[in-house]
Amino acid sequence: MSNKTAKDVLSYAKEHGTQMVSLRFIDFIGRWRHFAVPLHELSEGIFEEGLGFDGSSIKGWLEIHNSDMLVIPDPNTAVMDPFTQTPTLVLLCNVSDPITKEQYMRDPRNIAARAEKYLKSTGLADTAYFGPEAEFFIFDGVRYSTEPHHMFFEVDSIEGAWNTGREEPGGNLGYKPGFKDGYNAVMPTDAHNDMRDEMCRILGEVGISVERQHHEVATAGQSEIDFRFDTLVKTADNLMWFKYVLKNVAARHGKTVTFMPKPLYGDNGSGMHTHQSLWKGGKPLFAGESYAGMSEMALHYIGGILKHARALAAICNPTNNSYKRLVPGYEAPVNLAYSSRNRSASIRIPMFSASPKAKRLEFRSPDPSCNPYLAFAAQLMAGLDGIENKIDPGDPLDKDIYGLSPEELKDVPKMPGSLEEALDCLKKDHKFLLKGDVFSEDALESWIEQKQKEVDAIRLRPHPMEYQLYYDI
């Protein structure tokens, strides 16, 4: 139900026996934060006036001497938490300045809302639909340490291809998907089917319509659950619920879920193929008579994403680990080209249906470590820049990109090879993000500053592989 009022929310809370209210907001990195208040503290006025909190400990936000902020609950987001022992109502919030009451320019949910507002202001379209496919791994456990004198990580899984020889309670039954051999596996090789079914059921309880679930390519529990597309902010909200539900269901089963793009060496990483389309007045705008049944507007949108893809990488692939997945020669799309059906292109035009309503593009480079509010907003702004400037995407590349010779590939642009390179691209190419005050120079500078710290954190530390390569020099 959309367009709920504060009174609707309070009635809903009482009907469900609510005792606590979790007020959630999204930090810069892309994690939910919250504080909880008893239901009697939630008045109708709070939906206008907000509640104060200290923002000084949120990375990339305010300094401690200027840290007071307000959360403004969005009444349309009211959902009961399916995991808390105490009946708890969840409300997603936007963040505002307590003095001016204006939107905080670094709040990712505000940025996403401004992107939707900018879209409408252009007159080109009134709705942008997004549908992400966020892949993930289910592990039995994870251990890691980054002390100055030692460093390691270890993950394990009942499905791990490396566990065919270990002794297990009740006997080792095999049924472990090999490296790159897990796609669409069935039970008992797929050890997590029932758990994913539970995830799907609870996603439905919080209002997310699941379309399918299956085992993904990699060994050790790589999985995918797809949910139905929606508008930009709503889809970002749904993706945050998606991560929350999956992690909590896994924890119930003594397992752990990660959305790291590349947790394992030598096997497939996790991407987040992002489907998107524009509509106006209830009509799809990406269907037409051009290549693959797309409209000229859609091709220009593709042109915008391809032009700005290297800058988008700093937001859509925002971790050092992202670039362990984006490596030439593997399935991850590093070559900036578009195609129908060809899954090795960074932008694919799905051909599952001839219906104009199904016409969309799929940007395959992003990964699920991103902040969805920022990533979807940035992709929309790049696509709109393509439409506004009629950017030609060039010819489609309907060949197996990985089968092309170096000579054939030399003129095909590529995604950055590291987070540092991506940040440099964003520094040079970000004006398209500033239109309509969607992103601000301040927000982008803070983002780059925070991400540069992550670059330095990796660069300054010895890697275990360096000992194997260099210790006995």
Q: Which of 136, 137, 154 is nearest to 145 (CA)?
A: 154
Catalytic member of 106, 196, 273, 300: 273
Among the listed residues 224, 226, 267, 385, the single catalytic one is 224
Q: What gap in Å lies between CA 209 and CA 206, rounded to an integer?
A: 9
Scan for tokens 């305010």, then name that residue.
Answer: 62
Catalytic residue among 106, 325, 364, 430: 364
Structure tokens at 119: 């879209």
List all residues 6 or more positions away from 25 whose beta carbon is below 8 Å from its beta carbon. Answer: 32, 33, 34, 71, 92, 93, 94, 95, 107, 109
Active site residue 392: no
CB environment 88-118: b (16+ within 10 A), e (fewer): bbbbbbbbbeeeeeebbbbbbbbbbbbbbeb
Does the active-site annotation cover 49?
Answer: no
Find where tokens 């937001």 sit: 315
**60 within 8 A of 28, measured Cβ to Cβ:** yes
Catalytic, 343? Answer yes
266's torsion region: left (phi>0), alpha (psi -120 to 50) or beta? left
Residue 75: is the preceding peptide bond cis (ω within 30°)?
no
| Known catalytic membership, residue 133 | yes
Return the SS3 of 181: coil
The beta strands (E) that lie in 296-454 are given as 338-340, 347-349, 361-363
Q: Which of 41, 48, 54, 296 is catalytic?
A: 54
Is residue 341 annotated as a catalytic residue, yes or no?
no
> What is the helix, strand, coil percentage profile of the chain, to 5?
35, 20, 40
Catalytic entry in 27, 135, 190, 267: 135
**Does 54 qualify as catalytic in the annotation?**
yes
Active site residue 116: no
CA distance 314 to 427: 10
Q: Which of 126, 181, 343, 388 is catalytic?
A: 343
Does 441 qualify as catalytic in the annotation? no
In the set 74, 81, 116, 133, the catalytic residue is 133
> In the annotation, is 362 catalytic?
yes
Residue 293, both tokens: 């049944």
Catalytic one among 362, 367, 385, 420? 362
Q: Which residue has the tokens 């362990």?
A: 324
Structure tokens that stand for 375 in this block: 């990533």
| CA–CA distance, 210 with 217 (Å, rounded to integer) | 20
Catalytically active residues are 54, 133, 135, 216, 224, 273, 343, 362, 364
